[in-house]
Structure 1
């Protein structure tokens, strides 16, 4: 039986995640259909435009993490691009928001329907929704995600057997297909994929429900403004304050001495 903590949260307490979890196979099918049926141009566009770019969190070695999604800071990707007037020089001859809308509606209608349905009845509790893939050999260095206003849920879509885990504080946690893993990412953590296969989850960031909505909304606005000034291609998801501090390394090392030695 799983023992839940202040950083590994019981998904059942967040009942608004039910709509996504009940449709996990449909969501997985939309993802695999996109990967198999989309043109090379569409695939590249999704990574260039529809995925948050990070300049702070580092990996060990050459293995990478890829991501693209449909919802950022509570609004769909095409509207987010318009609101923040993000420019993509490599696509200057195209209507980028329109292209993002077309891809979203063409390949992910059921996912977007589930998101819209959930946010309609929860006053927009869902903030970011995107697919995250760990490629074989990925080893992410210790970091935090400075989002004290949000929790992060991972809905397992494609999780091969083997050593694919999230090391956070005193635990090593694993993803499972069709299940949510919900974490408070303000705690230092480092995930890895030591298998020969991709691991894909649906990343779902949502407002903390034990804090006043006005408070977390205002904090998000200030944080996103700062992050978009740092890097507009972060889509407000990542920022410089995600870097782990020396204190984080020390705390982490007390429980994971070998990993601490490697990190330092």
Structure 2
């Protein structure tokens, strides 16, 4: 589906995304090099520390979603850890920050350069940048991402053929390698991956142009403070407000998903 509307936005509206898109193969190669060459210790640290965790968004069954990134709320991860004084069970604060910096410099120097270039010229418009992987069989329950001040872009890096899609409102949208999909995630949505292969994108959250920078930063500050109090491992990305309303499930023909809660509560 190539048409655009109020929730499926034309990436060309956001010219600053072009720098990331032009470097998509370099960014993809940094990701695959990391996945194939990182040590077990580095991988564990990455998913423990660099991956935003949600307590609200649920998946059906055992299929997993994994994520990790280097920019959160406009700060590189090593600075974000220190600013918010995040306490990890397996790492001291400054150890976590130093390891995060070393890992970013070792594996993702080109991605970091592109982020710095965009944010230098565009008044820190990029807020979160992380890799998101849908593993085979993933089926995520209907939810919202309550970020009225931001849009979310997905840069396709590794997209298998087959039924891997985003259902938003009554549309089914598809990722494509080397292209951005941009959504307003305040609308209810539920993605899935019914293929036998991983799907990986670069998730890029950025301020909406119709918000002033001052308004957006103030809103973000208040929102992130609350989210970090509720769940410091969310890295400010996810919160309790991500839960869809019961009427949304019915409106979009997904009432059956309400039954998942019974199975999920048994599995959790």
Range class of TM-score, shorter chain: over 0.9
- Aligned-pair CA distance for 1:205: 0.2
Structure 2 regions of 5+ residues with no counterpart?
260-268
Change (3 A) 1:31 1:146: same
Between the aligned partners of 1:263 and 1:247, the Cα distance in structure 2 is: 11
Q: Deviation string for 1:95-128 (max 9, x for gaps)?
A: 1100000000000000000000000000000000
Q: Deviation string for 1:164-190 (max 9, x for gaps)?
A: 000000200000000000000000000
Task: Check if 1:74 corresponds to 2:69.
Answer: no
Between the aligned partners of 2:96 and 2:256, the Cα distance in structure 1 is: 45
Between the aligned partners of 1:80 and 1:175, the Cα distance in structure 2 is: 29
Instruction: Give the TM-score taking structure 2 as reference length.
Output: 0.94
Between the aligned partners of 1:59 and 1:170, the Cα distance in structure 2 is: 20
Instruction: Give the TM-score taking structure 1 as reference length.
Output: 0.96
SS state at 1:124 partner: coil
5 Å-filtered alignment, 1:154-233, equals 154-233=154-233
Between the aligned partners of 1:249 and 1:148, the Cα distance in structure 2 is: 21
- Aligned-pair CA distance for 1:262: 4.0
- Aligned-pair CA distance for 1:42: 0.3
Preserved contact between residue 142 and residue 263 of structure 1 (Cα < 8 Å): no
C-alpha RMSD over aligned residues: 1.2
Of the three residues 251, 256, 268, the one matched with 1:261 is: 256
Aligned to 2:131: 131
Aligned to 1:145: 145
5 Å-filtered alignment, 1:17-166, equals 17-92=17-92, 95-166=95-166
Preserved contact between residue 139 and residue 193 of structure 1 (Cα < 8 Å): yes
Structure 1 regions of 5+ residues with no counterpart?
254-258
